[in-house]
């Protein structure tokens, strides 16, 4: 992979982390309990925890891939 494309893909992986955080914030916002309706507090907590774990896993994977792509772009040797 050419270094310019590897660096661009790495920055895209890091940018996806911000999108995941924004998506989690949106889900947390729509799943909150409100005085006039919405979800019960227990269901809101289950939603926040389950979606939060998925988002954290996605962020960890994207950071790991982004780091590897940056190393590839810098020309550092990759361990086998």
- Identify whether 40 is part of a domain: yes
Give me the number of domains the chain comprises. Answer: 1
Q: Is 14 helix (H, G, I), strand (E, B) or coil?
A: helix
How far apart CA 15 and CA 80 sit, in angstroms, is 27
Q: φ and ψ at 34, to 5 degrees?
A: -125, 160
**Rounded to whole angstroms, how far apart are CA atoms 28 and 49?**
10
Low-confidence ranges of the chain (pLDDT < 70): 80
Structural Rg of the chain based on CA atoms: 18
Residue 54 lies in a domain: yes
pTM: 0.84
The model's pLDDT over 39-59, given as tens digits with 9 standing for 90+, comes to 888 999 999 999 999 999 999
Residue 13 in any domain: the answer is: yes
Q: Which domain holds residue 13?
A: 3-74
């Amino acid at each position: 992979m050419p270094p310019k494309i590897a660096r661009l893909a790495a920055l895209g992986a890091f940018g996806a982390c911000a999108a995941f955080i924004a998506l989690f914030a949106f889900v947390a916002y729509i799943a909150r309990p409100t005085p006039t309706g919405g979800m019960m507090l227990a269901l809101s907590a289950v939603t926040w925890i389950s979606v939060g774990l998925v988002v954290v896993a996605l962020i960890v994977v994207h950071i790991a891939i982004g780091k590897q792509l940056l190393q590839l772009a810098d020309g550092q040797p990759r361990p086998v």
